[in-house]
């Protein structure tokens, strides 16, 4: 080791990486059991699926300070948060979100907006044509004995 330079095993983190990590940590905190036990404002923003508009979190003072108001940067960080699930422009805890959903009467306007539900389109089944054996034309394979020389060129000209 004497006389050799020691290099770190990884390059130093950029300011971007540091900020991204801080925002992810903040999102993780907002969606943690510790916070959701006491943060009624955030819970009142949840809809029936436990989803909170990302804009709600993006407008928190701490997040605005970390992102300099860059919503796209916040959205990117939210998509990297391990305990968060981003669906469209909303976010929720990945596990156990059902625990935190409040009754509709206790929610703020953001928590009243429901996402459209998937409803399968029910169409009447078309009746497939039924097989009519009497009208079927039998398949008769072409035999090589019918052609004059057996070459493909002669076969196509004899048809």
Q: Is the pLDDT of residue 89 over 80?
A: yes
SS3 135: helix
Q: Is the pLDDT of residue 125 over 60?
A: no
Measure the CA–CA gap between 152 and 108, rounded to whole angstroms.
Answer: 78
Q: What is the pTM of this model?
A: 0.63
Q: Is the pLDDT of residue 131 over 70?
A: no
Query: Torsions phi, psi of 22, nearest 5?
Result: -65, -40
CA torsion sign for 111, 115, 116, 120 is negative
User: So what's the pLDDT on residue 120?
Assistant: 47
Q: Is the pLDDT of residue 115 over 60?
A: no
User: So what's the pLDDT on residue 58?
Assistant: 94
Q: Is the pLDDT of residue 99 over 50?
A: yes
Domains in the chain (CATH in brackets) are 15-110 (1.10.10.10)
Contact 23, 77 (CB under 8 A): yes
Return the DSSP state at 114. P
Reported as a pLDDT band with limits 50, 70 and 90, residue 3 is low
Q: Is the pLDDT of residue 55 over 60?
A: yes
């Amino acid at each position: 080791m004497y006389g050799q330079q020691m290099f770190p095993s990884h390059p130093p983190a950029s300011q971007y990486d540091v900020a991204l990590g801080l925002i992810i940590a903040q999102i993780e905190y907002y969606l943690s059991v510790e916070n959701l036990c006491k943060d009624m404002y955030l819970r009142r923003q949840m809809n029936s699926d436990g989803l909170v508009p990302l804009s709600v979190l993006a407008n928190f003072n701490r997040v605005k300070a970390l992102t300099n108001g860059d919503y796209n940067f916040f959205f990117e960080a939210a998509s990297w948060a391990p305990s968060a699930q981003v669906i469209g422009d909303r976010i929720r805890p990945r596990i156990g979100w059902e625990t935190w959903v409040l009754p509709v009467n206790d929610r703020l306007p953001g928590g009243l907006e429901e996402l459209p539900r998937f409803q399968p389109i029910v169409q009447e089944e078309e009746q497939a044509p039924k097989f009519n054996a009497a009208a079927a034309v039998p398949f008769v394979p072409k035999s090589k004995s019918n052609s004059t020389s057996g070459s493909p060129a002669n076969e196509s000209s004899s048809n």
